[in-house]
Amino acid sequence: MSIITIAEAAELSKKSQKTIRRAVAAGKLKSTKIQNKTRIDKRDFDEWLQKGCCSTEEQDKNCIRNDEVNWIDISDEWKKDGWKNKKDRNGYNFIDLFSGAGGLSCGMVMAGFNPIASVEIMPQAVETYKYNFIEQKNFKEEVETRDIRTKEVKEKLYESVKNKKVDVIVGGFPCQGFSMAGYRVVDDPRNSLYKEMKEIVEKLQPEVVVMENVEGLRSMLNGKVEEMIIDDYKKIGYEINLTVLNSANYGVPQFRKRVIFIGNRVGKKNYHPKALYNESNYVTLGEAISKFMYIPENKEINHQFTRHTEAMKKRLAAVPEGKSLYKNYSDSWKKSPWDKPSCTIKENHGGTNIHPKLARCMTARELAALQSFPDDFIFKGTKKWQLVQIGNAVPPLLGKAVGLSVKKMLDSDK
């Protein structure tokens, strides 16, 4: 019996390691665990290959429904910034569920919205949120580490906003429970977070709900997860429209695609923002981080250097732009081109994005800039947790674009 690794399967099939892992997760390609590492019987691999079962992007697209999108021009309000100027705030209130460090909240504030409550379970992210929104911007909301699944947390949330109008609820619920290997969507306990958000929306009845998630959610269970979300919200009175937005189209110096669900219960059109940038004028990696190139290390602003040996520095300097240090990695240890938007910043290897001009990895401050966070947005916790928060965040400028399209919906007549 011949056993092969994920990397070997990818090389033999001329597919990415991500494709192989997805086939394994979906149960299409048999595998086993040997010393806690995924291994594949070569006979199972050959059988899978002969069946043409590779889960390619093209096949995934066949699972995705055609979007009905109401695009709206937000360019007339793009220069406004409620994060910097109180006069640009619009009076609408929002709650952020699964807020993380506050990337989507920051974007909503940029669009003029007022945060009145947030829920997040990661202590380091809560510390970051509290520092930036409460201590620095003086928003009046109670912020603490909270588990959205508990009855006490829900009751405390409802109590904190009972005398306030909740115009919008936003949230990027985790999607790990929507298994690629089976169809028991509703019964999976990990999906409780999705159901908790829906329960809070049903209770508080905001005019608008915004949900953000990874693009891959669209093809989960052959599109059934997406259909379930639309149907579940329709049952509680919300008509949903969704599409995939690329952050680079809204001034984020990074290619980062996210599916954005927008729904309302008041009979209005759900608007998505028209692109503001394209290939001819994308904000580049170099434009975002050049200002940090020669400033000294400064822990106070999250500009903390990784310690590399001289040998590693030479190896990092030799990596061509657009390539990775290691053959079997795609985004990890990657050196994105200086004159293009960055590859997607990810929490699991955010600290290994190689600087295109300097022989080191990029700092948390530089990665935050690639996520479009304002320079005065400070991340708390150790460097490890700063990188996790940054990689998990919704880019604020993407949040701003979505927020402005929601504002135009709220401002419109029925």
Active site residues: 175
CA distance 199 to 148: 11
Helix/strand/coil for 348 = coil
Helix/strand/coil for 387 = helix
Cβ(265)–Cβ(404) below 8 Å: no
CB atoms within 10 A of CB 320: 9
- State the DSSP string of 270-295: PEEEPPS--TTTPPPHHHHHGGGTTS
Contacting residues for 303 by C-beta, under 8 A, at least 6 apart? 292, 295, 297, 363, 364, 365, 366
Q: Residue 144: which region, alpha, beta or left (left: phi > 0; alpha: psi -120 to 50)?
A: beta
CA distance 138 to 398: 23
Q: Residue 230: which region, alpha, beta or left (left: phi > 0; alpha: psi -120 to 50)?
A: alpha
- State the DSSP string of 232-243: HHHHTT-EEEEE
